[in-house]
Amino acid sequence: MAIIDRSDPVQFKAGRDLVIQHLEDVHAIEAALVTTLKAHIALTPRSPYRELLERHLDETREHAAAIERRLDALGAGESIVHAALGLAEVLAGQAVSLAKGPLDMLRGGTERATKLLKNARDECAGEAMEIAAYDALEALADDVGDTETARLAATHRGDEERMLAALRRLLPGLAKSAVIARTGAEPSPQPPIAGYDGLSAGEIVTRLPGLTPAELRAVASYERANRKRRSVLERAGQLEDATRAL
């Protein structure tokens, strides 16, 4: 609900200008993320992680285009300057810079697995920044009565929240690969479900029916050695018990 008097030209213009400023900020962040994702994809072998990055690259490009259209509708299309100037001002004082994607290619002296883990960690931080930026934009838009911009911010934030959740599910597997690459440790046998480390507990549970008892035991063993998710362990045990009873 608007807290300004939209019939007051001074308040209306000030509120509109504030929304435009924050739209430009999130546009700059999305544009920088395109650069980061392209650099990270170039370093990432074909895997569920790379597929996730590729999907989010398309999504990020769509976000940037939607923000541009909204700025045009607000009469500010020619004022999108942040993306051209970079994020130095937008992200001043922040610990994370989304514009550093190409620099990741210069990280030397580390295995690819370690580099991928660092990239995923940085991507998580970037997604958190985007979520906060969209939180702020939605609140500002609501307060000045710009319902269309508020809806746009809420939709984009939902996409970023899903991306952050997916990245966090991948981190344990990437960490394990980094440990194996650095130490030479023997990897534990992989469970008989493709892309296991990138799946949520719910997604794994739906794939358990139909596995053989040996496969169910392999899933349970891998899960106990890694994330220890109760729902997966309990369902695998239930299905194994059921197959024994037949």
pLDDT in tens, 109-164: 358 899 999 999 999 999 999 999 999 999 999 999 999 999 999 999 999 999 99
Tell me how far apart the alpha carbons of residues 160 and 143 are, in angstroms, rounded to a whole number: 23
The model carries a pTM of: 0.73
pLDDT digits (tens, 9 = 90+) for 196-224: 888 889 999 999 998 888 899 999 998 99
For the residues 74-101, what does the mean pLDDT come to?
50
CA atoms within 13 A of residue 172's CA, in its CB half-sphere: 16
What is the domain partition of the chain in residue ranges?
A: 9-183, 196-245
- Which band of pLDDT confidence, cut at 50, 70 and 90, is reported for residue 189? confident
Burial category of 210 from C-beta neighbours within 10 Å (exposed 0-12, middle 13-18, buried 19 and up)? exposed
CATH entry, 9-183, from 3.40.50.2300, 1.10.390.10, 1.20.1260.10, 3.30.43.10: 1.20.1260.10
